A = this chain, B = another copy of it.
Amino acid sequence: MADMKFSYETLNKFCIDAFGRFGFSAEESKIITDVLLLSDLYGIESHGTQRIARYHKNIVDGEILIDRKPEIVKESPVSAVIDGHDGMGQVIGHFAMELAIRKAKESGIGMVVARNSNHYGIAGYYAKMACDQGLIGISMTNTAPLMVPTFGSRSMLGTNPMAVSMPADPYPFFFDVATTVVTRGKVEVYNKLEKPMPEGWAIDSTGKVSSDASRVISDLKAKTGGILPLGGATEKMGSHKGYGFGMIVELFTGIIGLSNTSAHTYEGGKGKISHSFIAIDPSIFGDPAEIKAHLSNYLEELRNSPKAEGETRIYTHGEKEIFAMADRMENGINVNVKTVKEMKELAVYLGMDVKAYLGEEAAAL
């Protein structure tokens, strides 16, 4: 389906006001919008404005409770445990990473785990929060069950993303990936296009590798089959390694949070997602400016290293996102027409003037 283009300002104003009408405070609405729009700007559409209608449905269904505030239930100078009380993931995540940052500034390291949360958008947003303040930032989250353990046929882990960001020039190191080969979103794209998926992305209910996206999605709905860990289906290509990186995310979220592992999220009408947030002040190891320069030099050395035949450039992590953001700030953000239609319907429901917010074309959809 075709895309429509909106400026950052248009989407920002629309989202802030829509979340305000959901019942969030001005500050909360700004935080949620900021997480969604960074995702759109970075080119990760699956976690951007297209989520707004789904979040609204989750709120209407009582899965996300807008009046709940994150609560610190355990704390030390270097750590905290937060109970999100089934509130909005972004609000909980922002609160938790701010706390981790404060602890890192005071004690060198801050590590915060949050439980009873919901989908929090891109993990990288929270890692970036720390990086923007000169710290090393890490965030991880468990998710709905999607990853099958090596030799299994049912998803027992989530896509379990891990994000790490660290200051560098001319742009920071920014790494934000699922520990599965691909995300569920990629499987859904192949399903929509009715194209066979590449071998080694997913398995069906038999546990055999399948390139049939439609079957994988219907099997997932029946709680069987799933997406393969980074490294694919066989130990020969390192499947057990991707499965292990996914496990690290489980350890640092649901396990130490004494909360639901991915396999038991979204049971009983609540998300019950857990996240973790780590901030580290590099000055506990050395002069931060020197460390930043050392990383910047290494990243440049990587980009300038010899290319494979037929390749013209080597990327370092975070570069593509920076270029995507510059492009979208200048040329606008593409939004799928289906999403625009959802936004329009939501706006009507919320009593917003669609034409004033999104323009005539959107209003006419």
Contacts and interface: CB of A to CB of B under 8 A. Distances in A.
Nearest to A200: B237
A40 interface: no
A298 interface: yes
A140 to B, nearest CB: 12
Nearest to A136: B251
Nearest to A258: B286
A221 interface: no
A60 interface: no
A255 interface: yes
A74 B286 contact: yes
Interface string A152-183: 11101000000010100000010101110110
Contacts of A307: 151-153, 207
A275 interface: no
A301 interface: yes
A87 to B, nearest CB: 20
A306 B154 contact: yes
Contacts of A256: 136, 282, 285-286, 291
Q: Which 3 A-B pairs have the closest CB atoms?
A: A207-B308, A151-B311, A79-B284
10 contacts: A152-B306, A156-B301, A166-B251, A177-B238, A177-B240, A207-B307, A230-B230, A256-B282, A256-B285, A256-B286
